[in-house]
Amino acid sequence: MLTLDRAAQTAQSYIHRVLEDVEKRNPGEAEFQQAVKEILESLVPVFAKHPEYEKLGILERLIEPERLVVFRVPWVDDEGKVQVNRGFRVQFNSAIGPYKGGIRFHPSVNASIIKFLGFEQIFKNALTGLPIGGGKGGSDFDPKGKSDGEIMRFVQSFTSELSRYIGPDQDVPAGDIGVGAREIGYMFGQYKKMRGAYEAGVLTGKSPGFGGSLARKEATGYGLVYFMEEMLKAHGLQFEGMSVVVSGSGNVSIYAMEKVLELGGKVVACSDSSGVIYDPQGISLETVKQLKEVDNQRIGAYINTHPHAELIEDCEQIWSVPCDIALPCATQNEISETQAQQLVANGVIAVGEGANMPSTLEAVKVFEQHDILFAPAKAANAGGVGVSALEMAQNSARLSWTFEEVDGQLKQMMQSIYRQCTETAEEYGHSGNLMAGANIAGFRKVADAMIAQGVI
């Protein structure tokens, strides 16, 4: 016992040294530092058991991206004026496969956000059990209020530069915030034109008409709910009869809501960055889909057809709506410590992260202290990238699988990820802590591949 304690102490001080170094070497990158801290702190038991990892510099290598590309994206708006945005692609780790991770278009995008997303992606992708490394990209371009022509010209300029770095066996981007099938379509067209070749597997999230996988659109939201279903089942619970709050009303939120409703849950609130809709009778998904997928409207328009519902014009208020299950599906750090306390005070039983890093480190502690069932993003939202990897497999084989086939594989994948997380947490003395389980299981897989491939 004494030796184990000493080993744990040694591991802890080593990890703290690495974390201090991360702060020094990445000044001002708060999101990246937060993501690294969350993972590294849960690796103490791994380094206590495997001190050899320190000598091999696994952590020092993992926290440094293999490559970060930053580039100029000039484009012409509808008035004929030249606009300039900044583009990013981080290729973080290719130990277990080509870099894989989405592209985000949002004005908040910067190197810190892209690096945090790319870093998390390494471990998430490892958990899927499929051969994909970690990457992420994006731009500070704001798609809101832009015409279709402006979106197309921007995407073409962005892709002209990005195409130098991507390829079906090199780096395979997909969608994320602000990037859906339309943007992926324009990226694919531009990439094809520049390469002079039809390389379907260079991008995922394509329309099913030209190599996209059925069920990719639904995958992240459905996958989140499949993961939650496993977690609830293990505690004798189910979605049936539960009241659920889902933040956001984009791709992940809409399909999480769809699956919750199918399983008998009741969604009472959803949001966008302009506000929250609270509908005690249960949110009409049909209306949300019409507003968001067809009419490109703000969520507030919901009350035009559902006057009994309430519009709260502050998106942060979503966590004050009482619920049994909270599914943050909008953006990073959307649940603060205070908001977590509010959820707990209102009786929340389970929290499932559909967005990437939606809970701050302090919020996660609140959930832990109150024994709230907690499904961490890295595991719970891995269904999207998992089905993207299935899209790559279909493209390589020049086949397309049915919706049911892909959905069935997605469900199995989420069940397997849940098992990996619980078993690993148990093995390393953190029984029931799925965040520790996810971090350790993902890390071990990547670390072992890095060791086998030598110092590169």
Active-site positions read 136
Contacts with ligand NDP, 209-228, as mask; x by CB under 6 A: -----------x--------
Ramachandran bin of 241, using left for φ above 0, alpha for ψ from -120 to 50, beta for the remaining angles: left
Question: Which amino acid belongs to residue 395?
Answer: N
Span from 58-66, 229-237, 246-254, 439-447 in contact with ligand NDP (CB under 6 A): 246-254
Q: Kindly state whether residue 442 participates in binding ligand NDP, applying the rule CB under 6 A.
A: no
Q: Kindly state whether residue 355 participates in binding ligand NDP, applying the rule CB under 6 A.
A: yes
Q: Kindly state whether residue 330 participates in binding ligand NDP, applying the rule CB under 6 A.
A: yes
For ligand NDP, the closer CB: 218 or 229: 218
Span from 2-10, 325-333, 367-375, 418-426 in contact with ligand NDP (CB under 6 A): 325-333
Question: CB–CB of 335/359 below 8 Å?
Answer: yes
Quote the tokens at residue 354. 């559909």
Question: CB–CB of 176/184 below 8 Å?
Answer: no
Least distance in Å: CB of 44 to ligand NDP? 27
395 is in an annotated binding site: no
Neighbour-count burial for 223-259, b at 16+ CB within 10 Å, e otherwise: bbbbbbbbbbeeeebebeebbbbbbbbbbbbbbbbbb
Q: Kindly state whether residue 381 participates in binding ligand NDP, applying the rule CB under 6 A.
A: yes
For ligand NDP, the closer CB: 132 or 237: 132
**Beta strand 67-76 pairing with 373-375:** unpaired
Q: Kindly state whether residue 251 participates in binding ligand NDP, applying the rule CB under 6 A.
A: yes
Q: Kindly state whether residue 29 participates in binding ligand NDP, applying the rule CB under 6 A.
A: no
Contacts with ligand NDP, 269-308, as mask; x by CB under 6 A: --xxxx----------------------------------
- Name which of 70, 182, 88 is nearest 135 in CA terms: 88
Least distance in Å: CB of 206 to ligand NDP? 13
Least distance in Å: CB of 299 to ligand NDP? 7
- Dist. CA 381–CA 173, nearest whole Å: 17
Least distance in Å: CB of 153 to ligand NDP? 20
Question: CB–CB of 236/225 below 8 Å?
Answer: no
124 is in an annotated binding site: yes
Question: Which amino acid belongs to residue 150?
Answer: E
Least distance in Å: CB of 425 to ligand NDP? 22
Candidates 112, 342, 356, 422: give the one binding ligand NDP (CB under 6 A).
356
Q: Kindly state whether residue 422 participates in binding ligand NDP, applying the rule CB under 6 A.
A: no
Least distance in Å: CB of 276 to ligand NDP? 8
Candidates 211, 250, 265, 376: give the one binding ligand NDP (CB under 6 A).
250
| Alpha-carbon distances of 400 from 18, 290, 391, rounded to whole Å | 45, 28, 8
Least distance in Å: CB of 47 to ligand NDP? 28
Of residues 120-179, those binding ligand NDP (CB under 6 A): 175-178
For ligand NDP, the closer CB: 40 or 318: 318
Least distance in Å: CB of 250 to ligand NDP? 2
- Name which of 72, 231, 85, 237 is nearest 146 in CA terms: 85
Query: What residue number has its CB nearest to ligand NDP?
Result: 250
Span from 69-77, 81-89, 125-133, 244-252 in contact with ligand NDP (CB under 6 A): 244-252
Q: Kindly state whether residue 329 participates in binding ligand NDP, applying the rule CB under 6 A.
A: yes
- Dist. CA 162–CA 350, nearest whole Å: 40
331 is in an annotated binding site: no
- Dist. CA 416–CA 427, nearest whole Å: 16
Quote the tokens at residue 248. 């956001």
Candidates 211, 384, 386, 437: give the one binding ligand NDP (CB under 6 A).
384
121 is in an annotated binding site: yes
For ligand NDP, the closer CB: 189 or 300: 300
Counting residues that bind ligand NDP (by CB under 6 A) gives 26
Phi then psi for 78, rounded to 5 degrees?
Answer: -65, -20
Span from 1-9, 16-24, 69-77, 328-336 in contact with ligand NDP (CB under 6 A): 328-336
| Alpha-carbon distances of 138 from 17, 97, 188, rounded to whole Å | 31, 21, 15
115 is in an annotated binding site: no
According to DSSP, the residues that pair with 243 across neighbouring strands are 266
Q: Kindly state whether residue 331 participates in binding ligand NDP, applying the rule CB under 6 A.
A: yes
Count of other CB atoms within 10 angstroms of residue 80:
6
Q: Which residues are annotated as a binding site for substrate?
A: 100, 121, 124, 175, 388
Contacting positions for ligand NDP (CB under 6 A): 175-178, 220, 247-253, 271-274, 315, 329-331, 334, 354-356, 381, 384
Q: Which residues are annotated as a binding site for NAD(+)?
A: 220, 251
